[in-house]
Amino acid sequence: MGIEIYCNSGPEPTDHGALWDELLASGERFGMEFSSASSMGIRRIESGILDNGTDIEADLTPFGAGLGQFVRLDKGDFIGRAALETADRSQLLFGLVCATATPEAGMEVHAVNGPVGHMTNGTWSPTLDVGVGYVRFDRPLPGDDWLGKTVLLHDRAGKSHEATVDTLPFVDKEKRLPRAIWRGPLAG
């Protein structure tokens, strides 16, 4: 959970340093600690939210990114339609879970016969207490099913770690976490 505090400058200036110290001291008994905006990256990855240009690379089709259900070839014409009609429908981007290492962008992913892909992004999940991230496979697996397979994540030191190919999102697969519902202005 995160909060933002806005202070009214009023006639007397707010001592922001003292306010900061008091807030941290008050929250200490609850385990409150300072965090940066990078914690939002953790939540993004845990939630399976893909970043265009990072996770969805320029040469990846919506099918390869696992977003084929959003392609409507039965609708009217659109830019890229002809290319998508003939595109391979295999999914190449999946989640990866590793209990012994934190996946990072660029790390190689191997199968028994050598390299098969790379990590586009990754983080340690405080919610699941494991490393999670997105793996981009170089080619489809025969039968088009990387899901559930065990692969090897090669860390920066060259050590191999067993990892499992998983579905996205990693957290809240049933979509039960509270969320804001926009009701918008009332139509008059």
User: What separation in angstroms does the CA of 68 have from each of 24, 59, 93, 153, 170?
Assistant: 46, 15, 12, 27, 19
Q: What is the pLDDT of residue 183?
A: 67
Q: Report how far residue 11's alpha carbon sits from residue 155's, in angstroms, rounded to the nearest whole number.
A: 55
User: How many CB atoms within 10 Å of residue 1?
Assistant: 3
Residue pLDDT, tens place only, 82-127: 999 999 999 999 999 999 999 999 999 999 889 999 999 999 999 9
Q: What is the mean pLDDT of residues 9-14?
A: 79
Direct distance between the N- and C-terminal alpha carbons of the chain, in angstroms, rounded to an integer: 36
Three-state DSSP class for 81? Answer: helix
pLDDT of residue 188: 46
Residue 31 in this model has a pLDDT that exceeds 80: yes
**What band does 163 get if pLDDT is binned at 50, 70 and 90?**
very high
- Which residues, 6+ apart, have CB-to-CB distance to 103 below 8 Å? 96, 119, 121, 122, 123, 131, 132, 133, 135, 153, 163
| pLDDT (tens digit per residue) in 50-83 | 999 999 999 999 999 999 999 999 989 999 999 9
For residue 157, count CB atoms less than 10 angstroms from its CB and return exposed for 0-12, middle for 13-18, buried for 19 or more. exposed
Instruction: Please say if the pLDDT value at position 46 is more than 90.
Output: yes
What's the topology of domain 38-166? Elongation Factor Tu (Ef-tu); domain 3 (2.40.30)
Q: Residues 22-47: what's their mean pLDDT?
A: 85
Q: Could you tell me if 152 and 166 are in contact, meaning their C-beta atoms sit under 8 angstroms apart? A: no
Pick the most confident of 135-139, 144-148, 176-180.
135-139
Residue 164 has pLDDT above 60, yes or no: yes
5 has pLDDT over 90 = no
* All structural domains of the chain with their residue ranges: 38-166
pLDDT at position 182 over 70: no
Residue 126: count other Cβ atoms within 10 Å of its Cβ: 11
Give yes or no for a contact between 57 and 136, defined as CB atoms under 8 angstroms apart: yes
Query: For a pLDDT cut of 90, what percent of the chain falls above it?
Result: 66
